[in-house]
Amino acid sequence: MKAVVFEAHGGVEVLSCRDWPDPEPRAQDVIVRVRAVGLNYLDIFARRGMPNVTIPLPFISGGDIAGEIESLGAAVTGWRVGERVVVNPKTADGLIGEEIQGGLAERVRVPASNLVRLPDAVDDDTAAAVPINFGTALRMLTTIGNLRAGETILVLGASGGVGTACVQVAKMIGAEVLAAAGSAAKLEQLRAIGADHAIDYAAEDFSRRAWDLSGKRGVDVVVNFTGGDTFVPSMRALARHGRLLVCGATAGYAPPIDLRYLWRRELQVLGSTGYAQADIEAAIALVAEGRLKPAIGHRFPLAETAAAQQLLEDRAFFGKIVINP
C-alpha cells in the first residue's frame, strides 16, 4: 500500500509518500480501507517530535480516519466487511497516529472496539472531520465546561478544526458566541457557521473587545488551546465565576498567570484532555441529523500530504484539512 512516512523528526521535507507493508489484523482488529483522514496539530507535533513522547520511527501519523472495513480479525464479531466506519483513535495500545501507526495510508489496523458506524447521511470527508475536533468540543463544553443556554463564550483560534467545532457546539447549546481569528476572511466564515461576534485578534486586543461585547461584565466561558501569551488576556475577559477551558498549548505550555484575576473573580481553570468514544458517537449522530456541520477548508490527495501539513503549520486555512488516500 501507499503511506506517508517519516523516518526522522523535522519539517515537511521528512515526509515521504511511498510503499509500506499492508497491516495485518490481530484477533480483535479490523483492517480499514482509508477513504479520508483529517489533519490535526498532533500530526505536526508527531513529525517534529514531542518532549517525553517516544514515537516509533519510521512512522505514519493521522488519527482522524474514515473508511470501510476491508477485513476482520479471527475473533471479531458484530461487524462485517464493507461497513462504513469512523475511528476513535484512543486505543488500549495507545493513540493512533502518535503511539501506533496511523491513517495517512491506504489501510490501517484498528481494534474493532474503536469503530463507530457511519450513517449514510455522513460522507467520508465529513466523517474524518469529526472524531478529534467535535469529540473534543462536545466533551469540553458539556462534560467539563457545563456550558448552558444563554451564557456567553469566547473561542480563541476559532478558525481551526477544534475552534470551528466549538463555535458550532456552543451555538447548538444556545450560547452567545464570540469567535476570535486573525483575518477578515476567517471572521466572515466564522459568522457564517454561527458566531454572533467575530474578533480580529491581529488588529485589536481580543480581551478588551470581548469585555466590551459582554457589556463590561466579562464572558462566562473562554476556550483556550493556545496557551502562551493568550492566557492572562483570557482571564481578563472572564466574568466573575467564569470558566477558562484549556485543551492544548500550541503557542506555549508555560504561560504567565495573573493570580489576582483568579481569586478576585473566583475563576475556574478547567483542563480537558480530549474525548471518549461516546462523544464521537454523539457527534456523528448530531452531524447526521444536520445539527452540526464540519467546515472543510481544503482537500488533498495522499501524495500531497506535505503541502497540506505546511498549510496547517502556516495556519493558512479554515476549518479542517482532509487527505484522501
Is residue 278 exposed (0-12), middle (13-18) or buried (19+ Cβ within 10 Å)? middle
CATH number at 255 reads: 3.90.180.10
The three cell numbers locating residue 139:
466533551
Query: What's the helix, strand, coil split of the chain in %, to 5?
Result: 30, 30, 40
Based on its alpha-carbon atoms, the radius of gyration of the chain, rounded to whole angstroms, reads 20
Q: Quick check: is 105 in a domain?
A: yes
**Residue 48 belongs to a domain:** yes
Q: Which SS3 state, helix, strand or coil, does residue 76 take?
A: coil
Domain match, 121 and 11 both: yes
Q: Are residues 124 and 146 in the same domain?
A: no
The answer on 50 and 19 residing in a single domain is: yes
For residues 110 and 73, state if they share a domain: yes
Give the model confidence (pLDDT) of 226-263 as tens digits. Answer: 888 899 999 999 999 999 999 887 777 888 888 999 99
Question: 29 pLDDT exceeds 90?
Answer: yes
Asked if the structure places residue 174 within a domain, the reply is: yes
The pTM of this model reads 0.94
Q: What is the pLDDT of residues 97-130, one digit of tens each?
A: 999 999 999 999 999 999 999 999 999 999 999 9
185, containing H or E segment? helix 184-192
Are 69 and 185 part of one and the same domain? Answer: no
282 located within any domain? no
53/163 same-domain check: no
Same structural domain for residues 146 and 263?
Answer: yes
Task: Answer yes or no: do 184 and 211 share one domain.
Answer: yes
Same domain, yes or no, for 69 and 161? no
| Own/partner pairs, 74-81, CB within 8 angstroms, 24+ separation | 74/27, 75/27, 75/28, 76/25, 76/27, 76/28, 76/29, 76/30, 76/112, 78/112, 79/30, 79/112, 79/115
Please tell me the total count of domains within the chain: 2
68 against 202, higher pLDDT: 68
* 255 and 138 within one domain: yes
| 264-287 pLDDT per residue, tens | 999 999 999 889 999 999 999 999
Give pLDDT, residue 51.
81
Nearest 5°: CA angle at 199, between 193 and 201? 125
- How much of the chain exceeds pLDDT 90, in percent? 91
Residue 180 lies in a domain: yes
Q: Quick check: is 104 in a domain?
A: yes
* Residue 277 included in any domain: no
Assess whether 123 and 173 both reside in one domain: no
Q: How confident is the model at residue 320 (pLDDT cuts 50, 70, 90)?
A: very high
Q: Please compute, for residue 236, the number of CA atoms within 13 A of its CA located in the half-sphere on the CB side.
A: 16
pLDDT digits (tens, 9 = 90+) for 77-86: 999 999 999 9
d(CA 221, CA 295): 23
Cell numbers at residue 305, please? Answer: 500530504
Same domain, 173 and 65: no
Does residue 287 lie within any of the structural domains? no
DSSP assigned state of 228: G
Q: Which domain holds residue 250?
A: 133-271
Residue 50 DSSP symbol? B
* Assigned C-alpha cell, 304: 500531497
What's the confidence (pLDDT) of residue 85?
Answer: 98
Q: Check pLDDT > 90 for residue 27.
A: yes
